[in-house]
Amino acid sequence: MINIERTETAPDCLKNKIDYKCDDVLDKLENDFFGKCYICETNLFSTNVEHFIAHKGNKKLKFDWRNLFLACFHCNNIKLTTDILDCTEPNSDIEEKIIYKSISDVNESIQIEANDSYSNDNLTKNTVTVLNKVYNGHTKIKTKDANKLKEYFLGEMLQFRDLILKYNKERHNKLKTSENEKNIEAELHKGSKLTAFKRQIIKDFKNYHKLKQYFD
C-alpha cells in the first residue's frame, strides 16, 4: 500500500444516492488509484468499488465519495470489515509505517511488518495482518489466489531488480545513467504495480538513496 491523493470533488452521480458504481465514480476511482487495487497494488484480479468503512445500511457512508475505494475481489474479501490504515488520508504516512520484504521463490512467504515505531498502533497492526493474508493466503482458496499473486510479484520484482543492477553497473556512464534513471523513475511512480515493494528496495540500500527523489 502507498499513499494516494484522491480527487476531492465527488462525482455528480452520487448526489441522487441511487448508484455508487456509476460511470463517473468508476472513472474517477480508476484515475485516482491508477487502475490498481489499493491493497495488493496490482490489477491481477477483478476490481470492484469497496466501501472502506462498511456502510451496514448507513446511506451516508454508502454514497460518501471518500468512503469509496478501488479494490480487487481477492483483497476486499480478506479485508471485509477490518479497520486498516487509510491510504488516502494526507496525514498518514503508510510507507513509513510498514516494511515490505521481497521473495525470490513462489514457495517463500512474503513478509510484511510494522515499523518498530508503529508496532503498537492498532491500525498499522491490522493493515499488516491483512497484507500478509493477501500476499500469502490464509485459507486453501485464498492461498491459491495468493500463489497467483506471488507469481506475478516475482516477475514484476525481477524486472525491477534487473533495472537496479543495470543502473549500478552503468553508473559511471552519464548517458546510460540518465536512461536507467528514467526507467527506474517509472517503476517508483505510484502508477506502477507493487510500488511499495520497489520503493522498499531503494530505502534499504544506501547506494540507491539518490533514487528516493522519484518517490512522488
Residues 6+ apart with CB under 8 A from 53: 61, 67, 83
pLDDT in tens, the chain (216 residues): 999 999 999 999 999 999 999 999 999 999 999 999 999 999 999 999 999 999 988 999 999 999 999 999 999 999 999 999 999 998 889 999 999 999 999 999 999 999 999 999 999 999 999 999 999 999 999 999 999 999 999 999 999 999 999 999 998 888 888 999 999 999 999 999 999 999 999 999 998 999 999 998
Q: Which domain holds residue 149?
A: 94-214
Same-domain check for residues 192 and 112: yes
Same-domain check for residues 100 and 64: no
Same-domain check for residues 112 and 202: yes
* The pLDDT of residue 41: 98
Same-domain check for residues 28 and 132: no
Looking at the domain assignment, is residue 185 inside a domain? yes
Same-domain check for residues 116 and 199: yes
Q: Of 26, 44, 79, which residue constitutes the final position of a domain?
A: 79
* The pLDDT of residue 138: 95
Same-domain check for residues 132 and 75: no
Grid cell, residue 184, equals: 527506474
Residues 6+ apart with CB under 8 A from 193: 36, 41, 42, 43, 156
* The pLDDT of residue 84: 98
Looking at the domain assignment, is residue 3 inside a domain? no
Grid cell, residue 186, equals: 517509472
Looking at the domain assignment, is residue 84 inside a domain? no
* The pLDDT of residue 176: 86
Grid cell, residue 47, equals: 476490481
Same-domain check for residues 56 and 146: no
| Rounded distance between C-alpha atoms, residue 202 and residue 215, angstroms | 10
Same-domain check for residues 49 and 111: no
* The pLDDT of residue 144: 96
Residues in the chain: 216
Looking at the domain assignment, is residue 168 inside a domain? yes
Looking at the domain assignment, is residue 87 inside a domain? no
Instruction: Give, in degrees to the nearest 5, the angle at Cα 92 between 91 and 98.
Output: 155
Q: Of 54, 79, 104, which residue constitutes the final position of a domain?
A: 79
Same-domain check for residues 18 and 103: no
Same-domain check for residues 170 and 114: yes
Number of structural domains (the chain) is 2
Looking at the domain assignment, is residue 88 inside a domain? no
Q: Of 29, 53, 79, which residue constitutes the final position of a domain?
A: 79
Same-domain check for residues 61 and 99: no
Looking at the domain assignment, is residue 128 inside a domain? yes
* The pLDDT of residue 57: 86
Looking at the domain assignment, is residue 2 inside a domain? no
Number of H helices, E strands in the chain: 8, 4
Same-domain check for residues 160 and 67: no
* The pLDDT of residue 105: 93
Give the predicted TM-score (pTM) of the model.
Answer: 0.94
